Amino acid sequence: MTTPSLSADTPRGRMYRLEPDGPLMYPSITTVAGTRAKDFLQGWYATMASKRALEMYAWLERNPDRAASEISRVTRDRWGTQKRIAAAATEHTAAAADFGTLVHAACEDWGTSGTRPDAAHVAEIVERMRAEHGAFATEKDLRGLVSRAEVRLDGYGRFLDDFQPEFVEVEQTVVNHSVGYAGTTDAIVRIGNTLLSADIKTSKKVRGDYALQGVAVCRAELLLDDDGATREMPELTGAFIIHLPEAGGYQAVPLRTGEEEFEVFRALRAAWSFEPDECALEPAADPKGLVLSLLRTKGGLDALG
């Protein structure tokens, strides 16, 4: 999957500009959807950290002759060791994202050329990602990496055979000025006489919150090209996920993209704009100053005259 040329990563997530070299204007669809609370991740982060700590302990058992020096090193650099353990979940997520990007890129090439990328082409994508983004820097089995990607491509090929989609747009950016967001859908496809937004996922399962991304694409107002030109947004019947699991095969999973889902997305967009640091005002010197400050925040002083 290519990185949309009008987008850029920022401390607040990925954002989009509306023309080349223009200012970043809108948060991405994935950035907005990502503001939804994910309390379940706390347990997963703890599990990944404890797993890495146990792996480090197992290494000591396997290398007793080096255990003393390693324990000494850890004692001298406790903070560095803590950071390494704490980074387990983040590194796992980054590796999974890199693999997903590899599969997306291969599927994108397939969609535009009409020909399945062979193993050599997939390997070229890997090398390009390593050179441009530092992806797969610690990957030692590149042949195995390509083989895992080919399993996903097998599933994608079965989807193409079974559903016979016509690719109307590939990696197309969309924008909604009324709500204030932009994003890029993997494809807009025609299946039969129906236009749909299609996104490829290589995650372990299809999560329900993917619907927030799908509905945002369906409710976009315009197509936005890389040169900043806009085109009419076609009316989409809905959105679905092309799920390519590790075990092979595929699932075509429809998403709910109704008013309820869009209302949640709009609320998340409003939450993204919220600046909490601006809500703590200057300390009040006395009771009168406290009350006046509070009235100003509510427009109370204007109402009084």
Residue 188: which H helix or E strand, with range?
strand 181-191
What is the per-residue pLDDT for 82? Answer: 84
131 within a domain of the structure (yes/no):
yes
Same-domain check for residues 180 and 154: no
Residue 211's CATH number: 3.40.1350
280 within a domain of the structure (yes/no):
no
Same-domain check for residues 148 and 12: yes
286 within a domain of the structure (yes/no):
no
Per the structure, the complete domain to which residue 238 belongs is given by 164-273
- Which pTM was predicted? 0.81
pLDDT tens by residue, the chain, 305 residues: 456 789 999 998 999 999 998 999 999 999 999 887 666 667 767 888 888 888 887 888 888 888 888 888 888 888 888 888 887 777 777 788 889 999 999 999 998 888 999 999 999 999 999 888 888 878 888 899 999 999 999 999 999 999 999 999 999 999 999 999 999 999 999 999 999 999 999 988 998 889 999 999 999 999 999 999 999 999 999 999 999 999 999 999 999 999 999 999 999 999 999 888 888 888 999 998 898 888 888 775 554 44
Same-domain check for residues 115 and 144: yes
Same-domain check for residues 168 and 157: no
Place of tokens 């989409």: 236
CB atoms within 10 A of CB 129: 16
Q: How many structural domains compose the chain?
A: 2
Same-domain check for residues 143 and 56: yes
33 within a domain of the structure (yes/no):
no
Q: In whole angstroms, what is the distance from residue 17 CA to residue 23 CA?
A: 6
What is the per-residue pLDDT for 304? Answer: 47
Q: In whole angstroms, what is the distance from residue 150 CA to residue 26 CA?
A: 35
Helix axes 40-62, 78-86, angle to 10 degrees: 120
299 within a domain of the structure (yes/no):
no
Same-domain check for residues 115 and 185: no
Cα–Cα distances in angstroms (integers) from residue 160 to residues 41, 164, 189, in the given order: 34, 5, 11
73 within a domain of the structure (yes/no):
yes
**Domain end position, chosen among 132, 161, 190:** 161
What is the per-residue pLDDT for 1? Answer: 45
Same-domain check for residues 121 and 196: no
Same-domain check for residues 48 and 150: yes
What is the per-residue pLDDT for 305? Answer: 47
Strand partners, 166: 190
137 within a domain of the structure (yes/no):
yes
What is the per-residue pLDDT for 222? Answer: 97
Same-domain check for residues 149 and 192: no
Strand order in the sheet with 13-17: 7-10, 13-17, 24-27
Same-domain check for residues 174 and 208: yes
Query: In one letter, which amino acid is 225?
Result: D
What is the per-residue pLDDT for 141? Answer: 87
293 within a domain of the structure (yes/no):
no
